[in-house]
């Protein structure tokens, strides 16, 4: 009888601990996802204000695109070092600093609006942006349930996509209420506010010191592997395929398709909002399939056909919204699998550095795309904003298929498969 009572008490204690761990994981996921929402929201603030900035600063789209290139160069150069810092001194400190710095950059631009301040703000925003992927994924990789890691990544990515999706509507509403200067200040204030909220919640950390304290061995391993190089190129092509639509879609629809400012923003919101929904669907795929390369190829092949239709046909407004939403959904589906590939390819204890390295691919795309699409708009070729996106989508499909060409070794262990180059690209 005593044994039965002891066993019952032990089971109850284990259940309480399990519930506490689940609650902590959910709280951590919610906090990190909120920070990711801010990062994507801040990314879209400047592009959504291009019409206002063009008039106020008296510059062309290529000058505005140059500011985005400065943002991407800064983020690209600092992404890997920030990942190293996140692994060494703690991802939590890095994340809080990024939120505060990004907000400060927009607030200062709103207070001192000029082209030099725009470039300075782009530098600070780029440095702040380099924080999120290394810090976020290091914390999530260390504290989320392994069996639900794909869905945790999908929720995190969904929050980021959602931040970008609502940015056009929020910016438009703020411009109507407080003007362009007030919009920059209000959007910037979100960063420090969320940083303070994360301090109150008390998010966990992920660093080398934590692993040593927990008794985990983290031997030095080579981080720059062939798998991560391939994934970096893949990330670059993903960035190029989406950047034109995300950053110049509104102005392209207005100048080339006769859309109003509000309808163009609604179309972009449909694209970005559907991307966020697609990410959630992709989270279940990431936990239940290894054939990520084929999923990516299929989604982007259909995407290329849809965007090609947008580029060549002046669709009625309802069909344009549907096409943009469909393209966004398919683009979002692959995101969680993409993140799982990076995590599987990362050496133990190096998630921050691995995500910092591959995220540089996004930044390389970000360096090229603003100048390219800004030049396209200055040449009065708005349809080619979508046409060039099609070209990059096709290249993305080709890379996905090339990395899928190797045979599957069903006898390999999951860990071995996750460490080899060909499966890592699947």
Question: Does the residue 228 lie in any domain?
Answer: yes
Q: What is the pLDDT of residue 248?
A: 85
Place of tokens 């943009």: 324
Q: Which domain CATH number covers 298?
A: 1.20.1250.20
Q: Give the CA angle between residues 252, 256, 261 to the nearest 5°.
A: 60
Average pLDDT over every residue of 307-319: 88
CA distance 100 to 93: 11
Q: What is the pLDDT of residues 69-109, one digit of tens each?
A: 899 889 888 888 888 888 788 888 899 999 999 999 999 99
CA distance 203 to 28: 6
Average pLDDT over every residue of 49-59: 89
Q: What is the pLDDT of residue 186?
A: 95
Give the DSSP letter string of 201-265.
HT-----HHHHHHTT----------HHHHHHHHHHHHHHHHHHHHHHHHHHHHHHHH---HHHHH
Q: What is the pLDDT of residues 201-221, one digit of tens each?
A: 887 776 554 544 444 444 555
**φ, ψ of residue 255 in degrees (nearest 5):** -85, -30
Q: What is the pLDDT of residue 244?
A: 85
- Its domain, for residue 271, covers 27-209+222-424
Q: What is the pLDDT of residue 222?
A: 65
Nearest to 41 by CA among 109, 128, 119: 128
pLDDT band at 194 (very low <50, low <70, confident <90, very high): very high
List, in order, residues 6 or more apart from 175 with CB less than 8 Å away.
49, 52, 183
Domain count of the fold of the chain = 1
This prediction has a pTM of 0.69
Query: In percent, how much of the chain has pLDDT > 70?
Result: 82
Question: Does the residue 356 lie in any domain?
Answer: yes
Question: Does the residue 2 lie in any domain?
Answer: no
> 44-48, 147-151, 298-302 — which is least confidently predicted?
147-151
Question: Does the residue 291 lie in any domain?
Answer: yes
Q: What is the pLDDT of residue 214?
A: 46
Question: Does the residue 216 lie in any domain?
Answer: no
Question: Does the residue 11 lie in any domain?
Answer: no
6, 21, 271, 352 from 207: Cα distances, Å: 38, 19, 36, 9
Nearest to 73 by CA among 319, 355, 370, 416: 370
Q: What is the pLDDT of residues 332-391, one digit of tens each?
A: 887 877 777 777 777 776 767 777 788 788 878 877 887 888 889 888 898 899 999 999
Question: Does the residue 251 lie in any domain?
Answer: yes
Place of tokens 């045979």: 407
Question: Does the residue 60 lie in any domain?
Answer: yes
């Amino acid at each position: 009888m005593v044994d039965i009572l002891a066993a019952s008490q032990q089971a109850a204690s284990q259940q309480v601990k399990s519930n506490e761990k689940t609650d902590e994981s959910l709280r951590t996921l919610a906090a990190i996802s909120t920070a990711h929402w801010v990062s994507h929201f801040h990314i879209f603030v400047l592009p959504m204000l291009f019409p206002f900035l063009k008039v106020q600063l008296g510059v062309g789209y290529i000058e505005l695109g140059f500011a985005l290139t400065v943002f991407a160069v800064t983020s690209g150069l600092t992404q890997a070092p920030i990942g190293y810092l996140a692994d060494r001194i703690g991802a939590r400190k890095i994340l809080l600093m990024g939120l505060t710095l990004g907000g400060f950059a927009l607030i200062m631009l709103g207070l001192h609006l000029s082209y030099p301040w725009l470039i300075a703000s782009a530098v600070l925003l780029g440095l702040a942006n380099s924080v999120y992927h290394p810090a976020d994924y290091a914390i999530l990789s260390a504290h989320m349930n392994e069996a639900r890691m794909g869905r945790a990544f999908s929720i995190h990515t969904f929050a980021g996509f959602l931040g970008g999706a609502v940015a056009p509507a929020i910016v438009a509403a703020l411009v109507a209420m407080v003007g362009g200067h007030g919009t920059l200040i209000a959007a910037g204030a979100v960063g420090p506010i969320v940083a303070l909220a994360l301090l109150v919640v008390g998010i966990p950390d992920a660093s080398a010191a934590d692993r040593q304290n927990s008794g985990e061995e983290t031997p030095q391993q080579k981080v720059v592997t062939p798998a991560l190089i391939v994934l970096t190129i893949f990330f670059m092509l993903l960035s190029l395929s989406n950047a034109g639509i995300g950053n110049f879609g509104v102005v392209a629809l207005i100048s080339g398709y006769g859309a109003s400012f509000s309808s163009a923003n609604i179309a972009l919101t449909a694209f970005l909002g559907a991307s966020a929904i697609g990410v959630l669907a992709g989270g279940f795929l990431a936990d239940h399939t290894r054939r990520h390369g084929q999923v990516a190829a299929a989604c982007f092949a259909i995407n290329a056909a849809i965007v090609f239709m947008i580029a060549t046909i002046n669709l009625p407004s309802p069909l344009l919204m549907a096409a943009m939403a469909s393209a966004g959904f398919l683009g979002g589906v692959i995101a969680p699998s993409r993140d799982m590939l990076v995590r599987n390819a990362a050496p133990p204890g190096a998630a921050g550095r691995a995500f910092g390295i591959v995220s540089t691919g996004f930044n390389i795309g970000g360096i090229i795309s603003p100048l390219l699409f800004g030049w396209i708009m200055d040449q009065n070729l708005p349809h080619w904003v979508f046409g060039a996106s099609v070209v990059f989508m096709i290249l993305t499909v080709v890379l996905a298929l090339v990395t899928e060409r190797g045979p599957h070794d069903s006898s390999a262990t999951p860990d071995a498969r996750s460490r080899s180059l060909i499966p890592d690209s699947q």
